[in-house]
C-alpha cells in the first residue's frame, strides 16, 4: 500500500477494466475500489449486455468483469459475444451462485476467469492482473462444483421461456413471429435462441429442434 492509500503495482501500462453489472451500487463500488488500485483503470461501466457491447465497439478493454445474472441475457452469452467480436478482451464472470449448471455454462463460454461475488478484494485484484497477463483463474470454491457437475453428467436445462421459444422454432416460426406470439422483443428472442443453441450444443436452429425432439423437450 502506498503512502497515498493506493495499492501499488509494478510500473506498466494500466489494465483497462470494464464493469458489467445491472446493480448501480456494484458498479459504483467497483469503480471506487479500482480507483484505489495502482495499475487498474476503469474505462466504462455498463448495466446490461447491449450497453456493454456498444461501449466495447469504441473503447479498448483488457479485462471485462461480467455479472452472470444480467437482466437481458446471462453472462455466459455475453462472454461469447465479447470473445467473438473482441478476441483480445479477457472476461471474468462473476457469479453469486454455486449452482453447477450455472458454473458449467460459465466455463463453456470460454471465460478467462470465474469468480464468486464473495471473493476477497485482494484476490479479485490479483485475478484481474493474472487474467490480463493471459492466465486463467477459477475460484477454489468453484473447483469442487465443476467436478461434481462433471461426475453427475448434468445437462444444461432450458428455462420455461426457452422451451416456449424452442417449440415455436420447431413450427418454423421466425424470430419476428416468435416475438409477436410471445409479446417480447426480437432482441429477447434472439438471446433465447442463442441460449438454446448453446445449451443443446447445436450449430443452428435445425440442430436445436432435432436435439429438442431427441430429448423429448418438444413433441
Per-residue pLDDT tens over the stretch 145-173: 555 544 444 445 788 888 899 999 999 99
Q: Return the pLDDT at 39.
A: 92
Distances (CA, A) of 86 to 57, 104, 113, 121, 162: 8, 22, 16, 27, 27
CA distance 160 to 142: 27
Q: What pLDDT was estimated at residue 145?
A: 55
Q: Is the pTM of this model over 0.85?
A: no
Q: Give the Cα separation of 185 and 116 in Å (integer).
A: 31
Q: How many alpha carbons fall within 13 Å on the CB side of residue 65?
A: 29
Q: In the chain, what are the domains?
A: 15-151 (3.40.50.2300), 160-214 (1.10.10.10)
Distance CA 111, CA 101 (A): 15
The residue-averaged pLDDT of 83-89 equals 90
Cβ pair 122, 102 in contact under 8 A: no
Are residues 97 and 68 in contact, defined by beta-carbon separation less than 8 angstroms?
A: yes
Neighbours of 120 (CB within 10 A): 8
Query: Which grid coordinates belong to 171?
Result: 413450427
Q: CB-based contacts of 109: which residues, under 8 Å, 6+ apart? A: 75, 76, 77, 79, 80, 83, 91, 93
**pLDDT tens digits for range 181-208:** 999 999 999 999 998 988 887 888 998 8
Q: Which CB contacts under 8 angstroms, 24+ apart, belong to 88-92?
A: 89/56, 89/61, 89/62, 89/63, 89/64, 90/62, 90/63, 90/64, 90/131, 90/132, 91/63, 91/64, 91/66, 92/63, 92/64, 92/65, 92/66, 92/127, 92/128, 92/131, 92/137
Looking at residue 133, its pLDDT comes to 93
Q: What kind and span of H or E run contains 59?
A: none
Question: What would the mean pLDDT of 126-155 be, rounded to a whole number?
Answer: 71
CB 85 within 8 A of CB 64: no
| Residues 69-96, mean pLDDT to the nearest whole number | 88
> Can you tell me the distance from the alpha carbon of 157 to that of 139, in angstroms, rounded to the nearest whole number?
24
Amino acid at each position: 500500500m502506498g503512502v497515498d492509500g493506493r495499492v501499488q503495482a509494478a510500473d506498466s501500462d494500466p489494465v483497462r477494466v470494464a464493469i458489467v453489472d445491472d446493480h448501480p451500487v456494484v458498479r459504483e463500488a467497483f469503480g471506487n475500489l479500482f480507483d484505489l488500485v495502482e495499475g487498474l483503470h476503469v474505462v466504462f461501466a455498463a448495466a446490461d449486455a447491449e450497453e456493454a457491447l456498444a461501449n466495447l465497439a469504441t473503447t479498448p478493454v483488457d479485462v471485462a468483469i461480467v455479472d452472470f445474472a444480467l437482466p437481458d441475457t446471462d453472462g455466459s452469452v455475453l462472454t461469447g459475444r465479447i470473445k467473438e467480436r473482441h478476441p483480445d478482451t479477457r472476461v471474468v464472470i462473476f457469479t453469486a451462485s454455486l449452482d453447477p449448471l450455472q458454473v458449467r455454462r460459465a466455463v463453456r463460454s470460454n471465460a478467462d476467469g470465474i469468480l464468486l461475488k464473495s471473493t476477497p478484494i485482494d484476490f479479485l485484484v490479483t485475478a484481474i492482473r493474472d487474467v490480463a497477463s493471459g492466465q486463467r483463474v477459477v475460484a477454489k470454491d468453484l473447483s469442487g462444483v465443476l467436478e461434481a457437475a462433471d461426475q453427475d453428467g448434468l445437462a444444461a436445462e432450458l428455462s420455461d421461456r426457452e422451451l416456449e421459444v424452442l417449440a415455436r422454432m420447431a413450427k418454423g416460426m421466425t424470430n419476428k413471429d416468435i416475438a409477436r406470439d410471445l409479446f417480447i422483443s426480437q432482441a429477447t428472442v434472439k438471446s433465447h435462441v442463442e441460449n438454446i443453441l448453446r445449451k443443446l450444443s447445436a450449430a443452428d436452429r435445425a440442430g436445436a429442434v432435432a436435439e429438442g425432439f431427441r430429448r423429448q423437450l418438444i413433441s
